[in-house]
Amino acid sequence: MRLILFGPPGVGKGTQAKLLSASLGLPHVSTGDMLRDAVAARTELGLKAKATMDAGGLVSDDIMIGIIADVLASQKCEKGFILDGFPRTLPQAEAMTGALRSLHVSLDAVINMEIDEQLVIDRLSQRLTCRNCGRIYNLKVPGPCPNCGGELYQRPDDTPETVRKRLRVYSASTAPVKDYYRKTGLLRDIDASGTIEQVYAAIRQVLNID
Ligand code: AMP
């Protein structure tokens, strides 16, 4: 199965991608995680991307298209993938269509996760991520990770001001990608304002997975 999880920051793409990845046995490909790893490792890519990410902007299409073309062609994505955070612009979506076509494969669905903007702002301002296992929590009080005991931290781009910027960028540059996929008949709308379990059930239902 080749799947895109689409929606604004904070809608729960990463959380749902991890669940689907575990149950379907497919790789979770998160461009945000790849960029954060590059920043942590201080690679050339990380050094280029850090300021843009911290400010809530988008890393350039050229860079992102190059990264994703390599991943899609890699062995790990041979049987499918759960894509989270890509495409975020029309040129990225068009490039991805071309890359998949040249690999002679096609997308199965684009899950459009819909949510109220205020809920996103509330969620992200409380979101903590584990440095060790990557799990995401909505906790008011920071402490050790309930899963592995690792350190929980707030992403530098999850401050209220940067979250508002990311939502503006989403409306201007990313939301138009929805129409691109709606025209292909691949878009599946779901309500992502419920609990993790409710949203997971809704995704499984539109994908016809038991
Ligand atoms: P995420 O973890 O998906 O919220 O991504 C974190 C940040 O990484 C975004 O705010 C962007 O700065 C950058 N980023 C991730 N994916 C992309 C993409 N497809 N295009 C441009 N920038 C991206």
- Spell out the SS3 assignment of 83-144: EECCCCCHHHHHHHHHHHHHCCCCCCEEEEEECCHHHHHHHHHCEEEECCCCCEEECCCCCE
Q: Which residues contact 39 (CB under 8 A, 6 or more apart)?
A: 46, 47, 49, 50, 53
Separation between Cα atoms, residue 132 and residue 178, nearest integer Å: 33
Predicted model pTM: 0.92
Q: Of these residues, 36, 88, 123, 188, which one is catalytic?
A: 88
Predicted confidence at residue 71, as pLDDT, reads 96
How many angstroms is it from 82 CA to the middle of ligand 1? 16
Can you give the pLDDT of all 210 residues of the chain as single tens digits?
999 999 999 999 999 999 999 999 999 999 999 999 999 999 999 999 999 999 999 999 999 999 999 999 999 999 999 999 999 999 999 999 999 999 999 999 999 999 999 999 988 888 898 989 888 888 766 789 999 999 999 888 998 889 999 999 999 999 999 999 999 999 999 999 999 999 999 999 999 987
Predicted confidence at residue 86, as pLDDT, reads 98
101-133: burial string, b at 16+ Cβ within 10 Å, e else: eeeeeebebbbbbebeeeebeebbeebbbbeee
Predicted confidence at residue 139, as pLDDT, reads 73
Is 168 tagged catalytic? no
Q: Of these residues, 2, 50, 123, 166, which one is catalytic?
A: 166
Is 135 tagged catalytic? no
Atom of ligand 1 nearest to the CA of 157: 10
Separation between Cα atoms, residue 47 and residue 36, nearest integer Å: 10
Separation between Cα atoms, residue 113 and residue 5, nearest integer Å: 7
Predicted confidence at residue 143, as pLDDT, reads 83
Atom of ligand 1 nearest to the CA of 87: 19
Atom of ligand 1 nearest to the CA of 68: 19
Question: Ligand 1 pocket check: which of 18, 58, 154, 163 to mutate, most ligand atoms within 8 Å of Cβ?
Answer: 58
Q: Is 5 in the pocket of ligand 1 (CB under 6 A)?
A: no
Predicted confidence at residue 26, as pLDDT, reads 97
CA angle 46, 88, 166 (to 5 degrees): 75
Does residue 82 sit in helix, strand or coil?
strand
Is 204 tagged catalytic? no
Which residues partner with 83 through β-bridges? 4, 29
